[in-house]
Amino acid sequence: MLLTEPPTSESTTFRRPAIAAFAALFAYAAVLTMPQASVNQVQREFHLNDSTQGILFSMIMVGFLGGAVFGGRLSDRYGKLPITGLGCLMMSAAMFVFSQARGFGMLPFAAALAGIGGGLAEVVSMALVSDIYTGPARTRMMNWAQTAFCAGAVAQPLAFARFWSVGANWRTGYLAAAILCLACALMVACAAGGTGKRTTPRRELDLNWHTIIRNGFVLRLSIGLLLYVGAELGLANWVAAYMARDLGSLDSQASSSVALFWIGIGVGRIAATGLCGRCSDSSLIRWSLGLGAALMAALLLSRSSSVAQPVIFCVGVSLGPAWPTIVSRAGSAFPNQSGSVIGIVAAFGCVGGAIVPKLVGRVSDATNLRSALWICVSALVIGLIVVNIGGKKRPACPAEGVKGR
C-alpha cells in the first residue's frame, strides 16, 4: 500500500506507530550515550586503559551490525513494531547487566546485547517512518525522528552528570536506562495492539540483499555513512575524556560535553526539517560533512575548555542532518524493502562506529588523545568525497511502486 496522505479517519492509527518509533529512538540514544558519559568513572573502577575501554564502544557497534541487518530483513516480513519492541527489551536487559556487573568480564557481553537491541530499535523505527512518508516529507520526518534520538542523547548525559555531581554511583544511571527501555517496549506493544495487521503484514520479498548492495547509489551512501558514523561516534565516545585530560575539565563538565554535542546534533536536525524542499538532500549531506570536518578540526586546535564547549555544540549542529538525510535517500531507493535497505546502509554505518572509536583508543595509547581524534576529521573528509562521486543525480531504482508496512 502506498501511503502518502492517510485519510482523516486513519490519521490517529498511523500516528501511533510513529510516536512509538520516536520513543524507541529516544531509548536507544540513552543506551548509546551511557558508556560515553560514564567513560571516566568506568575506567577508574575497572582500571581500564583506552584500548580496553574502546572494546566496549566497538562491541556496541558490532551488536548493532547484526541487529541492523537481520532486524531490517525480519521487519519487512513480520512487521516493524514487533521487531522494534524486541529491540527495546534487549536494551533493557543489557542496561540491567551493566548496572549489576562486578567485573569487566560481563561488560563486553552487555555492550553487544545493547548494540543488537539498538540495531533492531533504530533501524526498524527509521524504516517505519520511511514507510509512512514520501518525498520531502520523508526527509523532514526522518530528521524529526532523529531529533527524538538526540533528545535521549542529551537527557541521559545531563542526568548522569547530575547523578555524579550529587555523589550517586554510575550504576544508578544504567539502572534508570533499563527502566526507560522497558517502558518504551510497553509503548511499542500498545501501538502494535492498536494498529492491527496494517502495520505488520507478511509480504514476499522480491529483491535480495545482493541486488540492493550492488546498486551504486546505495553503495555510495553506505560507504559515506560508514565514514560519517565512525567520525560522529569517534568524537562522541571520546569527547568527555578529551575535555578532562587535554583541557582540564571537571568530571561533571566533561560528561555534560557529551550532552552539548548531542544538543547540537538535535538543533541541526530541527534546522534540516525547515530546509527540506528548499534544498536538495545531496546539498544537505555535503554541507553537513564539509562543515563538520572544519569545525571538528577547530575543536582539536583549541586549548581552552571554555572555547571548546561552544565548538562542540557547533560540530553537532553541522553533523546533525547527515545521518537521517542519508538514510532517507536510501529508503527512497527501494520503498518496497525499506527495512532491508535501511538495515544494510545502517550496517555500513555501524562498521564505522565499531572501527573508529577503537582505533582512536589504540592511537591514543600510542600517542595522545588529541592526535588520535584527527582520525575523525579525516573520515569526514573522505566521506564527503565518496558521497559526491557520481554527481547529484540519483539513478533509477527498481521497486518504485507499491509499498507496504
% residues pLDDT > 90 (the chain): 24
Return the SS3 of 276: strand
Secondary structure (H, E, C), 117-154:
HHHHHHHHHHHHHHHHCCCHHHHHHHHHHHHHHHHHHH
Highest mean pLDDT among 146-150, 212-216, 379-383: 379-383
Note the pLDDT tens digit of each residue in 265-283: 989 989 888 887 777 888 8
CA atoms within 13 A on the CB side of 303: 0
Average pLDDT taken over every residue of the chain? 81
The answer on pLDDT for 243 being more than 50 is yes
Radius of gyration in angstroms for the set of CA atoms belonging to the chain, rounded to a whole number: 20
Q: What average pLDDT does range 3-27 have in this prediction?
A: 62
What local confidence, expressed as pLDDT, does residue 395 receive? 47
Confidence of residue 378 (pLDDT cuts 50, 70, 90): very high
Bridge partners for 279 per DSSP: 276
- What are the φ and ψ backbone dihedral angles of 181, each rounded to 5 degrees? -65, -35
The answer on pLDDT for 172 being more than 90 is no
Fold of 12-198+219-388: Growth Hormone; Chain: A; (1.20.1250)
Confidence of residue 377 (pLDDT cuts 50, 70, 90): very high
What local confidence, expressed as pLDDT, does residue 230 receive? 92
How many angstroms separate the CA atoms of 131 and 1, rounded? 9
Domains in the chain: boundaries: 12-198+219-388
- What are the φ and ψ backbone dihedral angles of 402, each rounded to 5 degrees? -65, 140
Q: What average pLDDT does range 237-262 have in this prediction?
A: 81
Helix (H), strand (E) at residue 267: helix 251-275
The answer on pLDDT for 391 being more than 80 is no
Q: Within a 10 A sphere around the Cβ of 304, how many other Cβ atoms?
A: 9
Give the number of residues written for the chain: 405
Stronger pLDDT, 96 or 193, i.e. the higher one: 96
Note the pLDDT tens digit of each residue in 51-63: 787 788 778 878 8
DSSP string, 370-398: HHHTHHHHHHHHHHHHHHHTT-SPPPP-S
What local confidence, expressed as pLDDT, does residue 207 receive? 54
Confidence of residue 11 (pLDDT cuts 50, 70, 90): very low
The cell numbers describing 215, all together, are 546498486
Q: Within a 10 A sphere around the Cβ of 197, how many other Cβ atoms?
A: 8
Whole-model pTM?
A: 0.73
DSSP string, 354-369: HHHHHHHHHHHHHS-H
**Checking phi first, is residue 228 left (phi over 0); if not, alpha (psi -120 to 50) or beta?**
alpha
The cell numbers describing 350, all together, are 555501524
Highest mean pLDDT among 9-23, 188-202, 223-237: 223-237
